[in-house]
Structure 1
Amino acid sequence: MNALANKHILLGVTGGIAAYKAPELVRRLRDAGAQVQVVLTAAGGAFITPLTLQAVSGQPVHQELLSAQAESGMGHIELARWADLILVAPCTADFMARLAHGLAGDLLGACCLAARVPIAIAPAMNAGMWDSPATQRNLRQIMADGVQVWGPGSGSQACGEVGAGRLLEPLELVDRGAALLGGESNAGALAGRKVLMTAGPTFEDLDPVRYLGNRSSGRMGYAVAQAAREAGAEVLLISGPVALADPPGVTVQRVRSALDMHRAVLDAVAGMDVFIGTAAVADYRPAQPAGQKIKKTRESLTVELVRNPDILAEVAARADRPFTVGFAAETDDVLGYARRKLEEKRLDLIAANTVGAGQGFEVDDNALTLLWPGGQQELPRASKAALARDLINVIAQRLHAPG
């Protein structure tokens, strides 16, 4: 049965350009079986009309805190009691500030303050507003209060800038709502644990202009970091060069090369409970990077490559090793290579997936086969966020397994 069937979703729409996606979100939620009522803020009403949201939801749109039409004049109480989930999408920096301070001067703020159900926000704003100290301070308070934070994504924005602050796509928000209300949430599964992660590619410089890299976008690793944080862990993510927003609540340390990542991991690994190596670390690097741009003066060019250190193997070989999880991204004989990697590096668990031709890298979904000594589990194709939650749940189960 669909996890959202007959669930009551109270959707708050605040005043940002991403409000244009709200009708599709309502439609997707209803397609998933949910009943949806919309609370539209005054600023939200400047971007999208109540009539549009009423047409797609099949319900009157609520805008006024003090409404004579509400029973006993307490519409915010009625709506808060009706809801199984309050989802604010898009959520502006202004509403984040109001939520962080418990302000209830409008209907949406009052509903959130009166709610005894989960609250989730999907931030959407200019990259500079998202990165500002005030917004990040409000974010920390919101998360400490138990509010789920879904996103933001990264990419081009209406203002012309590129960076963190995009609203997650409606299907992703529906997927997260289904996981939360369907009992698939991993909240508390890693409470009190410290998780060290790597994600993204590494870039190995040939000269000051060129480098050797790979097609890893970092999306899977960032999704796993977010899922680990939602599971209650303290997460340090060491990231190669990616165009992704820092996952909310996750400490991110950015590096460039395999040697940079190697040093950062070894500096941080002591005292960690779990290490998850999702990064696509370059196996080789140029032996002698050129100090100046290499000129096109010859018909052929030979570059000597030397092997990079094996970060995953070194972590797994430590006397104080954490529970060590690797990834195997292969184009062929995926399970064979993954099983050998599991055994040769003495890992606790490995996640194997096929890459190339629209699989694995640069796509929004994936499928994984999990292997551990004496066991195997398939995680069928799903969004990377959903796969990440499933992976974290398996890691938590294996971490607590006897023996």
Structure 2
Amino acid sequence: MTSPVLAGARVLLGVSGGIAAYKAADLVRRLREAGAEVRVVLTESAARFVTALTFQALSGQPVRSSLWDEAAEAAMGHIELARWADEILVAPASADVLARLAHGQANDLLTTVVLASTAPLSVAPAMNHQMWTHAATRANVETLRARGVRVFGPASGAQACGETGEGRLLEPLDLIAELAAARGPRPLAGLRVLVSAGPTFEDIDPVRFIGNRSSGRMGFAIAEAAVAFGAEVELVAGPVALPTPTGVRRRDVRSAREMREAVLTAVPSSDIFVSAAAVGDYRPAEPSALKLKKTGASRALELVQNPDILAEVGRLAPRPLLVGFAAETDDLELHARDKLERKGLDLIAANRVGENLGFECAENALLLLWPGGREELAQADKRVLARALLQRVAARYRETRGATP
């Protein structure tokens, strides 16, 4: 299906070595269906997994793989490729290619073209999950992000090595959606977006606490997407082990009361508040100053209710556009619509937890509800869902505030 954003785009696809290279063939087909012109550069390692002939047939263009192609380089072919592209996408991007791009190397055709081009660069990492989480890879990715390079993914799941974790290449249609969103209009330009993310921890004693299984990934993905959509973004994060998205101001908190204080401080200067945090409903009434010792007997723990941050923001006048989340195990739409109406929200994103969705997962599926409307977002990587959610949030802002961002 032709995309108005990608129609006529000149996409240079760099394919690096790794088993995920086979997905790049379908990616070429999908890019052409979206209306893009595609030329492919294979690294030497990629050519061991997939053939140039495959990509030539799918793209309708000659495929380049060597900096030492005498016929092409007689006319400075690598410079011609660099000038031709108005988008460069490296998918899959191996750990090796990410390292070479981060350090500005130009020791093969792909890295040379990237250095010689002014086109926006996007990379879609794919590698073993231990390689993805290695400090060297993380540093290289952050270096690229700081230079404005877009990073699409990776997704999480079963890997060719037999292990499971983060490091899978995003699916071709997800990559198309990411590239289209990056090239498209910035629907939140000029707006200030406040996002809360992650769990809250409530101390029982200096050693133990009450918490929940929220990883913060959804909220962090929303903050990242809001920056890409042109917003000025502030993130209030519970205790999570996630890097701060580029361009986001972050404040770390631990308890529900700390999160309330941070949110209420930031709300007056915010146009939109996306409450993606999984705030604990209860806390111990009297946390112990000393570690509680095992006595052999049962112990009762008195709990008191935490403040309802979203409801409190909803009672403010004026207030920002309010977007809430509802994580449910049953009667998803019934419970979510009740929360939407009871708290006077402008939109709620409901998700079922468990079944490899929601908490502690890289993927999710969302049911969006608002007064007079609903939309289902199918299961996908949380970064992809974040962009789709914010498209709807931007539309709600225009509808309810009578303004174009």
Q: Do they superpose with TM above 0.5?
A: yes
- 1:63 maps to amino acid: S
- Structure 1 window deviating more from structure 2 (368-377 vs 106-115): it is 106-115
Q: Distance between the aligned counterparts of 1:176 and 1:357, measured in 2?
A: 21
Q: 2:247: which partner in 1?
A: 249
Q: Distance between the aligned counterparts of 2:342 and 2:255, measured in 1?
A: 24
Q: Distance between the aligned counterparts of 1:303 and 1:223, measured in 2?
A: 35
Answer yes or no: is the 8 Å Cα contact 1:8–1:84 preserved in 2: yes
Q: Distance between the aligned counterparts of 1:223 and 1:379, measured in 2?
A: 15
Change (3 A) 1:152 1:269: farther
User: SS state of the match for residue 299, structure 1?
Assistant: coil
Q: Distance between the aligned counterparts of 1:261 and 1:392, measured in 2?
A: 22
Task: Show CA shifts across 1:204-235 (max 9, x none).
Answer: 11122221111212222122112111111111
Q: 1:381: which partner in 2?
A: 379
- Structure 1 window deviating more from structure 2 (372-381 vs 306-315): it is 372-381
The TM-score, its normalising length taken from structure 2, stands at 0.78
Answer yes or no: is the 8 Å Cα contact 1:186–1:230 preserved in 2: no
The TM-score, its normalising length taken from structure 1, stands at 0.78
Change (3 A) 1:114 1:400: farther
Q: Distance between the aligned counterparts of 1:313 and 1:338, measured in 2?
A: 14
Answer yes or no: is the 8 Å Cα contact 1:154–1:243 preserved in 2: no
Q: Distance between the aligned counterparts of 1:75 and 1:243, measured in 2?
A: 44
Change (3 A) 1:106 1:382: closer
Answer yes or no: is the 8 Å Cα contact 2:12–2:39 preserved in 1: yes
Answer yes or no: is the 8 Å Cα contact 1:315–1:321 preserved in 2: yes
Change (3 A) 1:122 1:252: farther
Q: 2:145: which partner in 1?
A: 139
When the two chains are superposed, the root-mean-square deviation of aligned CA atoms in Å is 3.6
Change (3 A) 1:49 1:296: same
User: SS state of the match for residue 38, structure 1?
Assistant: strand
Answer yes or no: is the 8 Å Cα contact 1:23–1:56 preserved in 2: no
Shift, 1:279, TM fit: 0.6
Q: How does 1:329-344 map to 2 (within 5 A)?
A: 329-344=327-342
Answer yes or no: is the 8 Å Cα contact 1:187–1:230 preserved in 2: no
Change (3 A) 1:220 1:345: same
User: SS state of the match for residue 62, structure 1?
Assistant: coil
Change (3 A) 1:55 1:76: closer
Q: Distance between the aligned counterparts of 2:183 and 2:327, measured in 1?
A: 26
- Structure 1 window deviating more from structure 2 (5-14 vs 300-309): it is 5-14
Q: Distance between the aligned counterparts of 1:135 and 1:26, measured in 2?
A: 21
Shift, 1:298, TM fit: 3.2
Shift, 1:177, TM fit: 2.6
Q: Does 1:62 find its partner at 2:68?
A: no
How many correspondences in the alignment?
372
Q: Distance between the aligned counterparts of 1:358 and 1:126, measured in 2?
A: 21
Q: 2:162: which partner in 1?
A: none
User: SS state of the match for residue 322, structure 2?
Assistant: strand
Shift, 1:2, TM fit: 8.0
Change (3 A) 1:170 1:153: closer
Change (3 A) 1:69 1:85: same
Q: How does 1:222-371 map to 2 (within 5 A)?
A: 222-371=220-369
Which of residues 192, 202, 205 in structure 1 aligns to 2:203? 205
Q: 2:170: which partner in 1?
A: 171
Task: Show CA shifts across 1:39-79 (max 9, x none).
Answer: 43xxxx6xx36433536954555231x64220643222443
Answer yes or no: is the 8 Å Cα contact 2:182–2:228 preserved in 1: no
Task: Show CA shifts across 1:95-154 (max 9, x none).
Answer: 2353xxxx978643553366575421346877655776x9857633x32xxx42335789
Which of residues 39, 48, 58 in structure 2 aligns to 1:51? 48
Q: 1:159: which partner in 2?
A: none
Q: Distance between the aligned counterparts of 1:223 and 1:282, measured in 2?
A: 21
